[in-house]
A and B are shown apart, each in its own frame.
Chain A
Amino acid sequence: MKIAVVGKGGSGKTSVSGVLARSFARSGHNVIGLDCDTNPNLGLSLGVGDLETERLLSLRDQIDEGEQQHAHTWDDILDAYGTDAPDGVRLTVVNRIDNPEPD
């Protein structure tokens, strides 16, 4: 099941995403949290903490700067650019753009 979570910045989109992912996991589902936001903070809402969230963002930056190779398959991306969050949720950060479009 693929669920897209959308809304204006500040609407609480990321908090809802994080809690929803943890809720699915607690009810026995395999869950992947996909952070597609230009200001990626899903890691915090999932409970992986500041340091791990920053580590994932640094990995994305290295890809953008060409220091790391892009992963080409879904499994590669989960392996290379993901981390384990509480309740068994797997978190992956998809992109980081320094100049996001306005809402």
Chain B
Amino acid sequence: MSAEQLLSSVPESDTVIVADLEAGIGTLTRLPEASVDSTLVIVEPTPRSIDVGQRAVLVATERKQGHITIVANKVATHEDEERIRTAFGEHPVVTVPLDPVVVAADRQGASPVDVDPNALAISAIGGLVPVLIETTDT
């Protein structure tokens, strides 16, 4: 069963399913309409990442993949954040700071939550929970 078949056929329930799709927009283009309640578009402040993110927003909008939230990830400066906010216009943007804890976790093959649960990036990502609950009709 492919990722697209699986995601579109999972029964609605109280369970939260977080689907980490393939890099780029391949799975998103193949996903049947309205398969998910919410699409999180992760963007780092580089031109190529912003470009892929903008294409993901177009596809997710066209195919009705729920509420779209932009995550401005690895943000180091005010300019980084503004570049992403400007690129995504009216879409809500949640900012996650560039955090050495995430880099260290990546190197260790560990979860950032287990490296330092109080890290700034962890708090910022945790802040998505009420946002997603509020914007999703379940």
Contact = CB atoms under 8 A, between A and B. Distances in A.
A103 B23 CA distance: 6
Contacts of B28: 4, 6
A34 interface: yes
Interface size range on A against B: 35 or more
A33 interface: yes
Contact of B9 (A7, A9, A74): A74
Interface string B15-41: 111111111111110010001111111
A7 B3 contact: no
Contacts of A103: 23-24, 48, 52
B97 to A, nearest CB: 11
B102 A12 contact: yes
B87 interface: no
Residue with the greatest number of chain B CB neighbours at <10 A, chosen from A4, A26, A32, A39: A4
Given A30-B16, A31-B16, A15 B102 contact: yes
**Main SS of chain A's interface residues?**
mixed
Contacts of B113: 18-19, 22-23, 47, 86-87
A24 to B, nearest CB: 5
B114 A4 contact: no
A1 B138 contact: yes
B39 A6 contact: yes
Interface string A68-93: 00111010010000000011000000
Interface of A: 1-24, 26-27, 29-39, 42, 44-47, 49-50, 70-72, 74, 77, 86-87, 94-95, 100-103
19 contacts: A2-B10, A3-B38, A4-B28, A9-B23, A9-B24, A11-B49, A11-B53, A12-B44, A12-B96, A13-B20, A13-B23, A14-B20, A16-B73, A19-B121, A23-B128, A44-B111, A47-B114, A49-B110, A102-B24
Interface of B: 1-3, 6-7, 9-11, 14-28, 31, 35-44, 48-49, 52-53, 56, 60, 65-66, 71, 73-74, 96, 102, 105-106, 109-114, 121-122, 125-126, 128-129, 132-133, 136, 138
Given A9-B23, A102-B24, 5 more contacts: A4-B31, A6-B42, A34-B6, A36-B3, A101-B24
